[in-house]
Amino acid sequence: MEVWEKVFLDDADFLQDTHGKVGCVICHGGDSSLEDKELAHVGINADPSDISCDTCHSDVAHVNALSLHTTLEGFKTALETRGCDFDEYPEMNEVFENHCDSCHTSCGQCHVSRPDETGGGFLSSHEFRETPSTQYNCIACHGSRVGAEYLGENEGIPADVHWTQETMTCTDCHGEELHGSTQDASTRYDNPNAVKCEDCHEDVWTNTEGNPQHEQHLSDLQCQVCHSVSYKNCYGCHVSIDEEGIPCRISEASQMDFEIGYNPIRSSERPYKYVVLRHVPTCSDTFDYYGSNLISNFDTLSTWKYATPHNIQLHTPQNESCEACHGNSDIFLTEEDIRADELEANQGVIVEEIPSP
């Protein structure tokens, strides 16, 4: 998108809606009586979400203030669990500001514009959209893994059936959870409003008759164990500042893989023994450019993490038959799949004994 295009009002229809009638200056500041561009823009706030939306949408805005999209607590939780001490090592604040902090979003960056992180720009003139764009909002940020999986952009891997058969968009499943979670939510799965397969597929739980796999496994296998296929795993991310002074990131080539392991976040909501695990790009020296040993307790959190790949299929290689899964060492996470320096971190998710045929 060209710079001018990002703020171009190609139609003025939005002036007729409630937001348009409020006028520009009320939300954005500046002085609309001046013709000089620079003077008119003094004090302008391009994204006034924090101060304006709350005025009329306080119910949603207050909840959204606690959402992980706003707080980025998910990042902080993972970093602090791995021993990153923001108080003792001020370098960590620099790391966070340079490489993590821009990954949040605001009301406007979902309902009016594309996210700043992806360059910004109006979705459609200055139209307020109750439902964000799957392409320009959700996948703009969540594209490299979930988006690519869902749309079938990974070579040789089919798109998710919810897309190919029903053309469902992100918000068809993900609703309230996007605005809020609990006050002390620390990960994306720490959310009572999180979408569950059974929200739509209740019949699978209420009637297992005629489906021996469901009869046997509904309580101990996450749905994706049987119904997802190979997904993207990332490795070896290192962050730094380049010669131009711009934050940069170099990571190894991602790998398509499918690994079943023990559930690292087993709870009453997710009681499954086995889940699919995705490798995250973090490694013990990810932040070494900023200082040594900033990740002081790397082994306290697995690098193979609970995952919900978005490439759901009715039929998958592992659910073809009992033998396709039982005894199949290729699809279970074992010590041979783990890098030597990550063995300790992943002890809790490595499958010690593959279910026998």
Partner 1 sequence: MKKVAYLLFAVLIPVVLILTGCNPSPEVPGEEVSSCVICHSDKDMLQQAASAEVEQVSEETSGEG
Contacting residues toward partner 1, per CB under 8 A:
2-4, 7-10, 12, 15, 23-25, 28, 30, 32-35, 37, 40, 144-145, 232, 234, 236-237, 242, 244, 246-254, 281
> What distance in Å separates the CA atoms of residue 47 and residue 7, rounded to the nearest whole number?
12
Task: For residue 64, give the 3-state DSSP assignment.
Answer: helix
> What distance in Å separates the CA atoms of residue 352 and residue 205, rounded to the nearest whole number?
29
Shorter beta-carbon distance to partner 1: residue 114 or 179: 114
Shorter beta-carbon distance to partner 1: residue 253 or 340: 253
Shorter beta-carbon distance to partner 1: residue 135 or 254: 254
Shorter beta-carbon distance to partner 1: residue 99 or 227: 99
CA dihedral of residues 259, 265, 268, 271 (deg, nearest 10): 20
Shorter beta-carbon distance to partner 1: residue 63 or 237: 237
Shorter beta-carbon distance to partner 1: residue 44 or 56: 44
In the complex, minimum distance from the CB of residue 70 to partner 1, in angstroms, rounded to a whole number: 20
In the complex, minimum distance from the CB of residue 122 to partner 1, in angstroms, rounded to a whole number: 10
Q: Are 172 and 158 in contact (CB under 8 A)?
A: no
Task: Please provide residue 172's backbone torsions phi and psi, each rounded to the nearest 5 degrees.
Answer: -65, -30
> What distance in Å separates the CA atoms of residue 244 and residue 238, rounded to the nearest whole number?
17
How would you label 238-264 residue by residue, b for 16+ Cβ within 10 Å and e otherwise? bbeeeeeeeeeeeeeebeebbbbbbbb
Q: At what angle do helices 91-99 and 73-81 cross, to 10 degrees?
A: 140
In the complex, minimum distance from the CB of residue 29 to partner 1, in angstroms, rounded to a whole number: 11
Owner of token pair 């799949």:
337
In the complex, minimum distance from the CB of residue 172 to partner 1, in angstroms, rounded to a whole number: 26
In the complex, minimum distance from the CB of residue 189 to partner 1, in angstroms, rounded to a whole number: 20
In the complex, minimum distance from the CB of residue 248 to partner 1, in angstroms, rounded to a whole number: 3
